[in-house]
Structure 1
Amino acid sequence: MGVRRAAKSVSKYLLETVGELVAEVILTLLACALLACLVLIAYLSWSFSPRLAVAGAALLSLLLAHGAWKIFRDPAKGRRRRGIAAATTAAFTLTAATGAFLVLYAPGCDCL
């Protein structure tokens, strides 16, 4: 009985360790692909039209700033986010989550 229990415990530990390693590799590859896509988008937009690239970056910054402002300010009583406020809040949340993901996993891709 002791040998079976020990073997089962060791196999469970190995399976969990291998699963974590595979998940780490997949997340690192995903971060590298996302970083490569962001760099490609920036390069293509700049090579297409630098003025439009700067204008697009300014507009995106404005929308993200509005979303951050709507998230961190106290909402009025009885009012919820509608329309543009909901869209900019969702865009800010998605951008913040993407940034956190890249900070955690992109340094492991060795392309920086």
Structure 2
Amino acid sequence: MGIRRAAKGVGDFLIETLGEAVAEVVLSLLACVVLGCLALIAYLSWSFSPRLTIAGTGLLSLILAHGAWQTFRTPAEGRRRGLAAVTTAGFTLTALTALLLLLYARCDCL
């Protein structure tokens, strides 16, 4: 009875370890793809029009700053509506993407 339980425990450990290793590889690959896509977008945007790229970057920065302000300020009475909800969602998505790249983009692909 003890040998079967030990073998089952070792098997469960190996399956869990293999699952974590596969998940780590998948997340690293996803982070490298996201980083490559962001670099490609920046390159194509700059080659199309440097002025529009700078203007778009400034507008995106203002939107993200508004989203961060809406996220971290003391909430007012009622719910967020319209522009506040959109900028908050954009800031949250950008923050999660940055966190993914920070934790898993350890590739030499670029």
Distance in 1 separating the partners of 2:88 and 2:5:
51
Q: CA deviation at 1:7?
A: 1.0
For residue 36 of structure 2, what is the aligned residue in structure 1? 36
Deviations 1:57-76 (A, max 9, x none): 00000000000111111122
Report the equivalent of 1:69: 69
Partner Cα separation in structure 2 for residue 28 and residue 76 of structure 1? 39
Compute the RMSD of aligned alpha carbons: 1.0
Moved over 2 A (4+): none
2:108 is matched with which residue?
A: 110
The count of residues paired between Structure 1 and Structure 2 equals 110
* 2:27 is the alignment partner of 1:27: yes
Q: Does 1:81 align with 2:63?
A: no
Between the aligned partners of 2:7 and 2:25, the Cα distance in structure 1 is: 27
| Residue aligned with 1:11, SS | helix
* Structure 2: runs of 5 or more not aligned: none
Q: Distance in 2 between matches of 1:2 and 1:81?
A: 58
**Where do 5+ consecutive residues of structure 1 fail to align?**
none
Q: What letter is aligned with 1:111?
A: C
Specify the code of the residue in structure 2 equivalent to 1:105.
Y
Q: How far apart are the structure 2 equivalents of 1:14 and 1:33? A: 29
CA deviation map 1:26-62 (0-9, x unaligned): 0000000000000000000000000000000000000
Identity over aligned pairs, percent: 70
How high is the TM-score relative to the length of structure 2?
0.96
